[in-house]
Amino acid sequence: MSSEDVECSSKTKRLHFLLIPLMEQGHMIPMVDLARLLAAHDILVTFATTPVNLNRIRPIIDQAAASSLPIRFVELRFPVVDVGLPEGCESVDLLPSMELILPFLNALSLLRDPLEAYLRIPDKVGWPKPACLISDNLHHWTVDVARSLNIPRLIFHGPSCFFLLCDLLINRHRAELEAAVAAASDGFTMLRGLPHPIRVSKHEVITLLPSDPDKSKFMETIRVAEESADGVLVNSFIELEPWYFERYREEKSKPVWPVGPLSLYQEDLDVKAARGKASSIDNKILFQWLDRQEVGSVVLVSFGSFIRNTMAQRIELGHGLEASGRPFIWVVKEVVDKQVPGAEEWITDFEKRVEGRGMIIRGWAPQAVILGHVAVGGFVTHCGWNSTLEALATGVVMATWPHFYDQFLNERFVVEVLKSGVAFGIVEPTNLGVENGNEVEVKVKREDVKRVVENLMGGGEAGEERRRRARELGEQARTAMEEGGSSWKGLQDVINYVSEHQRKYQGANISS
């Protein structure tokens, strides 16, 4: 047997996972981490997504190749123009308006044909057929692909079990909750059936549940696809939300595996800095600046991948940060991707005023790396789950500024359940102002920014207690991902589950 034959036959004995992420940074980034983590566990991984998304993660692809990680990045053509979306709109943050989210989601099933065409091509280097498919839960069409391959379909859930359970309860008690929020003078009602007193607002009850019939139809398709999944991977860890994990498992009656925080997997700083997209700042300059700051003194301000605040809101935020007297890094995307008159001039002027104490990143920041630096002590966040978990994983306290959807429940989880954050006190969802042409909306005034940041970074005994909780959670997160930890075991259980399935259906999925 030639050495190539030996290599080939050893590959056919290995498990092969097919990963299909949603094209949205908050879903794509953890799936890329998952692909790398699986490959590090000697799993062959095919990661299938669209050209624009592959381009964004080019540094990660190159690094995976350089370190011989067994990951194949496969390009699936996404014919967005055919469904009326602008050319190149292959990720949620690239949509010119959130009005286009439904056409975007409906178009996802167009990925099925190119994926199946790819899977029909005989493998040249001897990789076996996939033994399982891990799909973002919004890719409902992958049910049929997994069925035709006769392999388990596992779904990857972006949010926490806390959110998934709240969402499930809200769906179940919709009529009752709608009546309760309508009758309440403050527009809130309690969500029953949880061990913590969690309030939900009209926004959560109404907008988490789609009222528009097309959206409802899409969500119903997702629900049915989710029911048929063989198991669920959650980017969270047991110690963070033990009750919620257990309860969610009972509800699902199928395996629910913790695999996070996935952001902790990658220790190579250059690779980690390129998560999602190439960074807009030179890492050397960033680190030199961070290294000059005192431990735990810096506040990071960032609102995720697609939120764009109004010009008026940015001005309030800037003045508040300036008045807080704290060193900060502020990630400002708006000036890069939307040419609002005066925006760049204002930020340049502001940058000069705060020189030495404040750093502005225009565009994409290496967020997980910044959060992991010892100088960073606080995070002003929109409460997207990835950002929240990245802060929890690095023991950083949060000032919570939710904008919409799951972010309000994530805020409650951080502030009321974990007690490691302070809220700005926002109750109404934010219009995604810039894109709606609404340039005046201000949710948080400068004096409130100053007050909350001072409380976050100081805050007396209560502040100390929050920081102690955050550090404790950070340690638990790291332990969960280390060999023998709960999320490490979770991933082993996923691999064992797939391996067992393959053994039962011996031969059926081994290389053709």
Contacts (CB under 6 A) with ligand UDP, residues 258-317: 275-276, 302, 304-306
Q: What is the DSSP letter of 181?
A: H
Contacts of 259 (CB under 8 A, 6+ apart): 34, 37, 233, 234, 235, 487, 490, 491, 494
Which sign, positive or negative, has the C-alpha torsion 119, 122, 123, 129? positive
Is 367 among the residues that bind ligand UDP (CB under 6 A)? yes
Part of the chain binding ligand UDP (CB under 6 A), chosen from 33-41, 287-295, 384-392, 423-431: 384-392
Is 343 among the residues that bind ligand UDP (CB under 6 A)? no
Task: Please pick, from the candidates 21, 26, 231, 260, the single residue that binds ligand UDP as defined by CB under 6 A.
Answer: 26
Give DSSP secondary structure letters for 255-317.
Answer: -EEE---GGGT---HHHHHTSSS--SS-HHHHHHHHHHSPTT-EEEEE-TTT----HHHHHHH
Q: How far is the CB of 306 from ligand UDP (least distance, A)?
A: 5
Q: How far is the CB of 311 from ligand UDP (least distance, A)?
A: 19
Vertex 229, ends 227 and 235: CA angle to 5°? 105
Is 331 among the residues that bind ligand UDP (CB under 6 A)? yes
CA distance 340 to 165: 40
CA distance 444 to 451: 11
**Number of amino acids touching ligand UDP (CB under 6 A):** 19
- In the complex with ligand UDP, the residue whose CB is nearer, 141 or 364, is 364
Task: Please pick, from the candidates 142, 390, 446, 485, the single residue that binds ligand UDP as defined by CB under 6 A.
Answer: 390
Q: How far is the CB of 113 from ligand UDP (least distance, A)?
A: 27
Is 22 among the residues that bind ligand UDP (CB under 6 A)? no
Whole-Å CA distances, 357 to 152, 214, 288, 372: 52, 49, 13, 19
Token pair, residue 145, equals 């692909």
Contacts (CB under 6 A) with ligand UDP, residues 51-90: none
Q: How far is the CB of 85 from ligand UDP (least distance, A)?
A: 19
Is 160 among the residues that bind ligand UDP (CB under 6 A)? no
- In the complex with ligand UDP, the residue whose CB is nearer, 130 or 384, is 384
Site string for ligand UDP, 430-469 (x = CB under 6 A): ----------------------------------------
Is 364 among the residues that bind ligand UDP (CB under 6 A)? yes
Task: Please pick, from the candidates 21, 261, 318, 384, the single residue that binds ligand UDP as defined by CB under 6 A.
Answer: 384
Per the CB < 8 A criterion, the answer to whether 415 and 423 are in contact is yes
Token pair, residue 364, equals 């994409």
Task: Please pick, from the candidates 135, 266, 386, 400, the single residue that binds ligand UDP as defined by CB under 6 A.
Answer: 386
CA distance 162 to 165: 5
Q: How far is the CB of 369 from ligand UDP (least distance, A)?
A: 8
Q: What is the DSSP letter of 119?
A: H
- In the complex with ligand UDP, the residue whose CB is nearer, 29 or 233, is 29
CA distance 405 to 253: 26
Is 320 among the residues that bind ligand UDP (CB under 6 A)? no
Q: Which of 441, 505, 449 is nearest to 326 (CA)?
A: 449
- In the complex with ligand UDP, the residue whose CB is nearer, 377 or 384, is 384
Contacts (CB under 6 A) with ligand UDP, residues 224-243: none
Q: For the stretch 73-104, what's the b/e string if a residue is b when 16 or more beta carbons lie within 10 angstroms of its beta carbon? A: bbebebebeeeebeeebbbbbbbeeeebeeeb
Name the residues that contact ligand UDP, by CB under 6 A: 25-26, 29, 275-276, 302, 304-306, 331, 364-365, 367-368, 384-387, 390
